[in-house]
Amino acid sequence: MKRVRINAGKVGLVFKRGDYQKVITQGTHWVGFQNMVKVYDLTKAFVAPIALEILLQDQGLEAMLHIIEVKDAELALVSENGNLKQVLTAGKYAFWKGLINFEFVMADLSKIYITEAISKAMLSHPQLRAYVRTLEVAAYEKAVLLVDDVYVKTLESGTYHFWKNDISIKIARADMRQLQLEISGQELLTKDKAAIRINFYTQYKVVDIEKALLGSKDYEKQLYIAMQLVLRAYIGTYTLDELLERKESIAEAVFADIKTAATQLGVEVLSCGIRDVILTGEMKDIMNQVLVAQKRAQANIITRREETASTRSLLNTAKLMEDNEMLFKLKEMEYVEKIAEKIGEITVSGNGGMVKQLKEIFSVNK
C-alpha cells in the first residue's frame, strides 16, 4: 500500500491498470501499489482521461460534477462567479462543483432572436462576438427588419443583437428627420419657347417607413422624378414674363400636385419653392436689351414730363407778371442781379424801362 495526499481544492481519481476505481477527496488515502492516482484542480474544467460515460457510472463522482451537453446549433455560456469565462460549442463537458460558482446558459443558435438571459456586456465579449450579429439604428432613424428577405417588423432607434447562423438578416434604414431635396439647373421651355434653367427645392419627411422602403425602390429618387414632371408640366403653361411674375403661385401649385405622389411613396412634402430662374446666354442678352429699351423709354417719358411741367410753370409765371406790374418789376431786378454777377460795370439812365435799356446794351454789345 502507498499513501496519497490530496490537498484542499484538489480531487483524485484512482485507476488500476487503466481501469477507473474510485474518486478520493481532500485528506490522506492508502492505495495499492498497482493503483495510479490522477489529481485534478477543482477550479478548472474537468478533462476526462477516459470516456466520460465510464466515469459517470460512479454516482459519487457524478454528484461532484456539472455535466453540460451541448448539441449542434447550440452554445453553452460558462460564467465563473458572474463573469463569462468560456463559450462551449457542440460536445459534452464537465466542471467540478463546490469551489467555484459556475453558471451555465444554453443558447439556441437555430433561431435569430436572443431570448436567453444574456447581458449586453456578455454579448460584446470577444469569445461570444463571433456568434452574434449586431445592428444599429441611429437616434434619428427607423429601420425595417427583413428575415430571409421577408419583412418582419419595424425597428425603432437602438442597438439590436441576433444570433449568427444561416438565416439571412437585413435591415433597411430611413432618416426620419426633415430632409431637403434640390432640383438644380433643370432645363425647361416656357410657353413662349424661352429656354430657362430652374433651381427648385422641396422639404419633406418620411412618415410611412414601410411604404418608403418596401413599396418603392429608392423613394428619394422617385420623389425627385415626380417633382421634375410636375414642375415641367406647370412651367410649360406659362410665358417667361408670367413665370417671373408668378413664381410663388407656381410653387404653391406644384406643392399641391406633388402631395399625392409623395403620399404613395410614404413621405410628406412640407414645403417647396423656386429658388432661382436662370436665363440661357442668348436669352439673357435679349432680356438685357429689352430691359435697356424699357429703361430708356421710361427715361424719355420722365424727361418729356419734366419739360412739359417746366414750360407750364413759365407760362403761369408770364401770366402772373402780365397781370401784376410789381411782380414784373421784381422779375426785372432778379435778372439784373444775375447779369450783374457776370459783368464788371453797367451804366443805366433813369429814362425808360430797365429791362429795355439792358436789352439795348446787350444788342449794341452783340
Question: Each residue of 41-62: pLDDT tens digit?
Answer: 988 888 888 888 888 898 988 8
Residues 99 and 30 in one domain: yes
145-173, pLDDT tens digit by residue?
A: 999 989 999 999 999 999 999 999 999 99
Average pLDDT, stretch 71-82?
A: 88
CA distance 90 to 107: 11
Task: Domain of residue 309: give its range.
Answer: 286-365
Q: What band does 365 get if pLDDT is binned at 50, 70 and 90?
A: very low
Q: What band does 357 get if pLDDT is binned at 50, 70 and 90?
A: low
CA distances in angstroms from 196 to 103, 190, 244, 289, listed in the order given: 75, 8, 11, 17
Does residue 313 surpass a pLDDT of 70? yes
Residues 84 and 172 in one domain: no
pTM for this structure? 0.64
**Residue ending a domain, choose from 144, 177, 210:** 177
Average pLDDT, stretch 120-129?
A: 87
234-266, pLDDT tens digit by residue?
A: 888 878 777 777 777 888 888 888 888 888 999
**Residue ending a domain, choose from 108, 128, 159:** 108
Does residue 277 surpass a pLDDT of 80? no
Q: How many domains does the chain have?
A: 4
- Which of 76-90, 97-111, 265-279, 324-338 has the lowest average pLDDT? 324-338
185-221, pLDDT tens digit by residue?
A: 777 777 777 777 888 889 999 999 999 999 888 889 9
**Residue ending a domain, choose from 279, 304, 320:** 279
The set of cell numbers assigned to 250 is 407656381
For residues 161 and 123, is the Cβ–Cβ distance under 8 A? yes
CA distance 156 to 137: 7
